[in-house]
Each structure stands twice: as C-alpha cells, then as structure tokens.
Structure 1
C-alpha cells in the first residue's frame, strides 16, 4: 500500500482528475488489490491443501503396499497395477543400483536423488513432483520396501491441475466482479459523500458572483460542517472589513469636504479680487489657505495610517517604551511653548514597531496639549507598561467617553478646534496591533486622562487586567 501511495503521489495524474473520480479510482485500486491478494491467498491455500491430501494418500498407499512382499514378485511377472486395483497410479520398484522395475506403461520417468536416499535408508520417505517425457507431470512418493529396495507410487497430476485451473478461473472471475462492484461502489460513495462539498462549492460561487456575504447554512458536525463554519468565519471577517472600509470612505469623504470647500472658497475669492484685494485681507486669506492645506495634509496622513490594517511586520524589534515616550516628548516640546510637562518614566521593554508606538504616544501628547490651558501642565507617567497622560483641560463628558477612540468622532466642544478626529483612533490601532489596550477617563484634577498599555516581553494581554485607576487601563467592551 505504501508503494501504491508513493506512485499515486509522484505520478501527478490524480491532480488532473476531479475529486470524485480520484476517490473512486483510489477506492477501486485499494479494493482491487485487496481482492487480488485474498484470491491469491485462497488459491495458494487450496493448492497446498490439495497437494497435502494427495501426498498423504500416496504415502499411506505406498506404506501399505510395501508391507506385502508379494507385490514385488507380481511386478516382476509384469502384472500391471490396474489389475491389482491401482489404476490411478504407476507402481515402480527401484534398487540400490538404480535399476527400475515396473509393469505399468507410460511416459518415461527419470527418478533420482530423493528416491535413492530412501533406498539407502538415508530418508524415511520422499514426496516430490517430476515431469516425464511429453510434459506429463507426476506426484511421486517413495517409501522403503525391504533391504536396498524402495517402492515408488507415481500419480498423474492432470486431474489435480484441472481442478486447480477451474479454481483459478472461478477466483479470477469473482475477483474481476469484485473489482467492478468496488468501482461502482467507490463512484457511488464518492458522489454521495461529496454532495455536501458540491453544495458548499455552489454556495461559495454564488457569493463570489453576488458579493452577498450572508453566512452559509451549517448542517451536522462533520468535516464538511466544520469547513462551512470556517467559511462563515471568513465571511464574517470579510463583511466586517468591508463595513470598515465603507465607513472609512464615507467618513473620509465627509471630513475632506470641509477643508476642500474652504480652499475652493478662498481660491475663488483670490481669483475674483485679483490685485484689488487689500494686502491685509490677502495675507489673511493666504494664512487661511495654508492652514487648510496643513489640515488637509494631516487628514490624508492619518487616513493612510489607519489604512494599515495588517499585522505587525516581521522586522519588529525589542525596544524600551520609555525611550519611545522621550522621543515623542521631544517632538511635542519643539512645537509647544505655553504648556509644561511633568514626566516620570519607568523603563519597560516591549517588542514592537518603534515608529507606530512613537506616533501613538505623540498623538496622546498632542491631544493633551490641545486641551490644556496656557501655562498648564501635562502629566506623563509610565509604570509597568501603562502610559498615563493627564491634561488640565475641561475633561471629557460621560456621554463622550465610549466614543473618544472612534474614527472621526468629534465631541460638541471640539468641533471648532483643529484636528482630523483620527489621532486617538490611530492610538487605539497601534495599541491593539501590539496586543495592548487604551482607555479614556477623567483625571483627578478634572481634566482628561488617556491611558495606553502595551505588554512587555514575556507578558500577554490576558495576563494583566489593569483597573481604571491612576495608572490603570482596561480594554473597552
């Protein structure tokens, strides 16, 4: 069976056939070999049994005949064996000189070593098959018949061979019939067994044509049912991805409309006024255009960042989260004048993408700076992988807390302030890509508290469930 399997794999023939035909052919081959093996075993067993019975009968008759000394004398008188009731065998005496004495006519037979050993007393008996002149086969049995003499009975094997040929023909016919039945049965089993696969294939092809991502019906608890359940999981993930894409496109279109409309208005104003626009008004319009272009560039950059929905690249490295926070603080301090920072960082080694984490921390700090009053202070703490950023702004309303990290979400109090509404969504995406979590809360001083947790090396997301305290974070439901 191993040879059959290796041939089946190496030939490559089965890859050009349908699955049903492959199952049917493999079933036929397997059952055919099994039937052939059983038929061959039965034939060999029957042949051995027939020859064993024939040998025992010849030896018994030879032993009984050798006990009557008169048989040799009768043979010397050239009385054939059929006169004595032995028509089915030839009676032969052989002495130590190799002389053969027989009164039975028939093809010439060459007796040899095994019979000579019986004559010399070296063997108690011998049984073998020999072929006489003309291709006639005999079963020969020799037993001692006195001193230096052996009695040999030779029975033709024509009848036995005829019986064995009939037996082989019957076994061959039954084997061929078994192979045909196995082939039909294998084809029927393949077609009936693969009917659920064909139904599943039609359903998947229908989904491909119609883009209808509704789950497939699942029947039973076998391998096909598990395959359908796996397809349903894939369809659910695909449907969720498509919904996110549609929401992103719709929200992006809505957010892009405002700066584009403002830019179009300002450009139209500049085109209509020409050189007649006062210098002060011209400068004001140009400043507005620059601000809108900067807002548009920020929005496009944030959209590109959110579009990265893949897993972390294989080039992630081990890094210290405290160093990432320090680099982000340096960037924010360069563009911040009126806000101070109270920083206390504890080293925390993580495995991740440095640029993505730095972008997330920068967004947290920018958000805190945006809401902090002049001469305010942003408090930054890093303890056991939990980064806490507190500002001294007005805080976050309870109704807005569950939506702070949603894409394009703007609280009523923030609609007049700059920003794309994507900064905190990028924070959440970066944390989740690093198996972490984010949370928004109210700071003890009344401002907003934003918390991000990233698991360290050897720490899993499920091994720590920080509470929503001073440095805690818990995943949102």
Structure 2
C-alpha cells in the first residue's frame, strides 16, 4: 500500500525542515490565538469602560438637571465635549415621540422610551445615527422624561484597528523569528545525527566495523551506543564465520586427502591393470565409505552450526523423555560394546524436536566414544527447581577442569581426541541448540572420575 501524496511530500523533506515547519506552525497558531484573545479582551474592556463612563456622565447630568430644573442641557454638564445629549419624553400610555427634536432613530417600543416611561431604570446599546455607530445610554430624569447620552465609537474602532495592526506585525515577526530559531535549533540539535549518519555511511562503504564515538548521554548518544552494540555483534558474527570457514576447511582437508588417496590407488590399479588383493580392496572401499560418512556428518554439523536464527516460531510441546529414549536407542546400535543405563521422568519442553534429538544424541555419542569397551553410560532425566535436568555420565578419562568450558567451542579437541573420529563440533551443536531453547549445558566430573555433562531446559512435568 503506497503512502498518500502528502505523506510522500512530508518524508521528502529533511528532518530539520520538518522541525522548522512544525515549530513555525505551532508558534503561528499560538500567536494567532494569543492575538485574538488580546483583541477580544481589549474590545470588551474598552466597551465596558465606555459604558461605565457614559453611565456616570448620564447620572451626573440627570442629577444636575433635577437640581437646577434647567430644561436646556449644556454639554459641560456631561464633563466632556465628545458626547451628544438628548432629552426624550414618553407620550400617553407611557410611550410617545421625543420631547425635543433629535436625530436619534427611536421607535415607540425602543428601550429609551421605556426608560422615559419609567419601565426601565437604564438602557445601554449601540445605535447607528446618520451612518455612524454610537454607544447610547438612557437614564430617567423626571416622570415621563429621560436623558440620553450618545458617544461615537470611531475612537474605539481606531484604537482596536491599531491594536490589531500592531498584533499582526509583532505576530508575523514572532513567527518569522520562531522559524529562524527553529531552523537553527534543528540544525544544531541534529549535528550529532549528521555525524552519526556520516560514520554509518563510512562503515557501509568500507565494511570496517569500528565503534562510533559516543559523546554525552542524550538520545543520540544512546542511539550511537546501541549501534555500537550492533556493530560488536556483527563483528563477532563475522569473526565466528571466518573461524568457521577456516576451521571447516582445515577439518575437511584431512578426510578429503585420505579419500582422494584411496580413490587414486583404486584408479591406478585399474589403469595399470594390476590386480589388488581382494581383502585390500575391501578395506579400501570400507575406508572410502567411512570417510564419506565422516564428511556427511561434518557437513551436517556445519549446517547446524551455521544456523544463527532464533528458535522458529512454529514449535511444539515435546516429551523430552521420549527424545532421550530414541537417542539412546540410536546410539546403542552404534556403540554395541557400551552399556547404557537410562532412567527418565517425563518432562515437557516447547521447542524443535529434531534439534533437541540431535543435541541429546551428540551427548550420548560423546559419552559412548570416551567410555572404554564394556563401560557404562549413565543417563538420568528428572525435574529440579522448575527445570528439567538431563545428566550423562561416562567412565572415560574425564575432562580437565581448565578445559571444561572449551569443549563447547567449535572444532576444539583435546590432544587425546585428535586421533579419534569426530570433527569437534558435536558439543558445540549441543550448546547452540540448548541456548536456542533458553537452557544451558555444563561439563563437570562424574562419580566414577569420567565426564559428566548436565543439560538444563525449562519446561514442566505434565503436558
């Protein structure tokens, strides 16, 4: 599914430009909201102040009129020259036309007439008089009459217009400054990312897995640390691969050389038409067959060791006791001069049956190989502290304490084992399989002085 065009446009932009754009938009929205709030607040405040001022002037003028009884209303009584004064009266029934000529567009049901009729104590509203908006306040003066004070809203509109212009100007400057600051901060903040990118690209070009320099303890430093961990894992994996190829070449060379020698002998005999003793020919063919078997086993071991992937997601519940019994039966057929004493309790693990059977078979093969003719291999499977414990004891010479960890390394063989069949990969496969199943395997000394290999796997006793 392809991303939308706007998404593709978004990801074509650099991270710095996206940060700058988002910062600018965020600041622009904040400035717009703040400016709107300031404008609305200022408008409400100016309107309230104007209404309070007009009400105070209206009450003062009405009080002066009632005290002097003067029907003429000089503007100085309003303490200002920016207002217009009107005197209106209600007609019969509480409503009627104005008492004096006025340019106020009043109707009989307007609130100013209601104030004159004594129905309201105060009226405040905005009227359009001769095409000009005015704020109009009406208060009663005597029965049936009201005083109306009107002031133009032009000054207020001019103040608000100036405020809007100033807010717009400073808002634009703020947005521009935020964009510049956001670009600078993004560029400066992403400088470590650019250095990290350059280093990673250098690694991709040269394939040199040198660790990256880590500065500070921020998110970029954590990313570099994590990347260094990945580089270390890759380097170790590459080293293991190189060692595996080198050791495999060394191990394959000996059986291949022997196989070629035997084949050359047979070929030379047929070419020279010289008869080979039948017994010698049988021995040569048996030797060739044994070498082919050894190569087959070695290739299988190498294939198993080359599997670096974790446990496959499709697994099943396996009865480990059945795996041990099948492996013991298989090894018995190959090691007929060794006795196997096998006692198992049921223990169920989740994993790959084939891999586990190969690991157990390798353990038993190793024990049978080192046990003397007529010797005994003791196999026990039981539960202990929430894990299944498989113990394999042999009656061989045992493993020196300083070599008990090395026996699980690939192609590692003791001096005594170099003359014996095998590739040195069996126990390496055991450890790899067990670790893939979240278990462990260790080597110690048995009660008879031979080797004891202990395999531990998590699981449960009942299915």
One fold, TM greater than 0.5? Answer: yes
Match of 1:346? 345
Say which SS state the counterpart of residue 74 (structure 1) adopts: coil
1:359 shift after superposition: 0.8
Contact 1:378 1:392 in 2 (8 A): yes
1:85 shift after superposition: 7.3
1:396 shift after superposition: 2.6
* Residues 1:319 and 2:318 aligned together: yes
Distance 2:83 2:146 in 1: 16
Match of 1:453? 456
Q: Which consecutive unaligned segments of at least 5 residues does structure 1 have?
A: 1-8, 459-477
The 5-angstrom pairing of residues 423-438 of structure 1 reads 423-438=426-441
C-alpha distance 298-161 of structure 1, shift in aligned 2 (>3 A): same
TM-score, normalized by length of structure 2? 0.89
Relative to structure 2, which stretch is displaced further, 278-287 or 256-265? 278-287
Distance 1:71 1:252 in 2: 125
Q: Which consecutive unaligned segments of at least 5 residues does structure 2 have?
A: none
Relative to structure 2, which stretch is displaced further, 393-402 or 321-330? 393-402
1:122 shift after superposition: 3.3
TM-score, normalized by length of structure 1? 0.87
Match of 2:244? 248
Distance 1:84 1:60 in 2: 9
Distance 1:438 1:295 in 2: 25
Match of 2:367? 368
The 5-angstrom pairing of residues 31-180 of structure 1 reads 31-67=27-63, 68-69=65-66, 73-74=71-72, 81=75, 87-96=81-90, 97-102=95-100, 109-110=105-106, 113-134=110-131, 136-180=132-176
Correspondent of 2:410 among 403, 407, 410: 407
1:286 shift after superposition: 1.7
C-alpha distance 52-336 of structure 1, shift in aligned 2 (>3 A): same
Correspondent of 1:18 among 14, 20, 30: 14
Match of 1:280? 279
Contact 2:57 2:78 in 1 (8 A): no
1:231 shift after superposition: 1.0
1:234 shift after superposition: 1.1
Say which SS state the counterpart of residue 412 (structure 2) adopts: coil
1:18-62: CA deviations, max 9, x gaps? 111111111111111112222221111221221111111111111
C-alpha distance 20-333 of structure 1, shift in aligned 2 (>3 A): same
Match of 2:217? 221
Distance 1:201 1:194 in 2: 10
1:101 shift after superposition: 4.0
* Cα-Cα RMSD: 2.4
1:406 shift after superposition: 1.1
Say which SS state the counterpart of residue 99 (structure 1) adopts: coil
1:424 shift after superposition: 0.8
Distance 1:258 1:123 in 2: 119
Distance 2:203 2:426 in 1: 36
1:259 shift after superposition: 1.5
Distance 1:84 1:179 in 2: 46
Number of aligned positions between the proteins: 443
Contact 1:437 1:452 in 2 (8 A): yes
1:272-296: CA deviations, max 9, x gaps? 2214241333322222211111111
Correspondent of 2:25 among 13, 24, 29: 29
Say which SS state the counterpart of residue 225 (structure 1) adopts: helix
Contact 2:23 2:179 in 1 (8 A): yes
C-alpha distance 140-307 of structure 1, shift in aligned 2 (>3 A): same
1:17 shift after superposition: 1.5
Say which SS state the counterpart of residue 98 (structure 1) adopts: coil
